[in-house]
A = this chain, B = another copy of it.
């Protein structure tokens, strides 16, 4: 299989299990499941779950043991988008070209759907992990890595800085902190959790974490570049939407040329981290090139 086929195969596994973990049901909870599914199946890139599966595979682990972790990270990422879009936060009506959760289901249900996705992430990893007989210590460590990455010292920490920085001047250090936490933390956790559940040793976990840290920052700067140079149709949102929301971006702080060089350097650094895995690092290496070359 070539890279694109391997990528599509992984995405198909993630979608299949997300559909199982978040079923269409007909009881008192039908509406909240509908809202959870609406946002989960809104055309996300599945970057985090793909990294979980690939990291587990790369270290020789059983990929099926990584599937609940992969889906959990997508649920956490999705809940953060639902809450970020709320009127009290970014007040976004559209995401990926579709109405946001609160525009379709109302604010109260959007808040609960976000809460429910965060909670479901932990339900799924714990219950499915127990059910599949995953090694308990590995499972605990992998889930702890995710919980750590999504909390106040991780993703939520980045959201707090984002919230408090709106319409204020922000320096490059704080912008780095914000993105490393808001976007980077979950991408790093994806590599870490996948590696741990696959039975990686400390050197391997650490190499994959550094890979993901570089990749996550490259990914974010690329987003900022696309926000200026991108095509609205491909992006599913207006160009310059960050600037009009009073958000600081790498492009605004460093200029376009320097931003592009940094994306290139970070993706090369990411790929360098995979050297210890030799040929087995090929998929994640191609993933880095694919992500910095994307147009949406």
User: Which positions in A face B, CB cutoff 8 Å?
Assistant: 28-29, 31-33, 36, 79, 83, 86, 88-89, 106-109, 111-112, 114-116, 118-120, 122-123, 126-127, 129-130, 136-137, 139-141, 143-144, 147-148, 150-153, 156-157, 159-161, 163-164, 174, 177
Contact = CB atoms under 8 A, between A and B. Distances in A.
A132 to B, nearest CB: 12
B29 A120 contact: no
Given A118-B118, A123-B148, A140-B129, A112 B164 contact: no
A126 B79 CA distance: 21
Nearest to A128: B144
B118 A119 contact: yes
Nearest to A144: B126
15 contacts: A28-B157, A28-B177, A32-B157, A32-B160, A83-B111, A88-B108, A116-B151, A119-B150, A119-B151, A120-B152, A122-B122, A122-B143, A127-B144, A127-B147, A139-B140
Nearest to A148: B123
B160 A29 contact: yes
Which 5 pairs between the two chains have the least Cβ-Cβ distance? A88-B107, A136-B136, A126-B144, A119-B151, A123-B147
A31 B160 contact: yes
Nearest to A79: B115
B164 A31 contact: yes
Q: Classify the secondary structure of A's interface with B.
A: helix
Given A115-B115, A118-B118, A29 B153 contact: yes
A31 B159 CA distance: 12
A119 B155 CA distance: 10
B29 A157 contact: yes
A140 B156 contact: no
Nearest to A88: B107
A118 to B, nearest CB: 6
Nearest to A156: B116
A172 to B, nearest CB: 15
B119 A130 contact: no
Contacts of A163: 108-109, 112
Given A147-B119, A157-B28, A140 B126 contact: yes
B148 A127 contact: yes
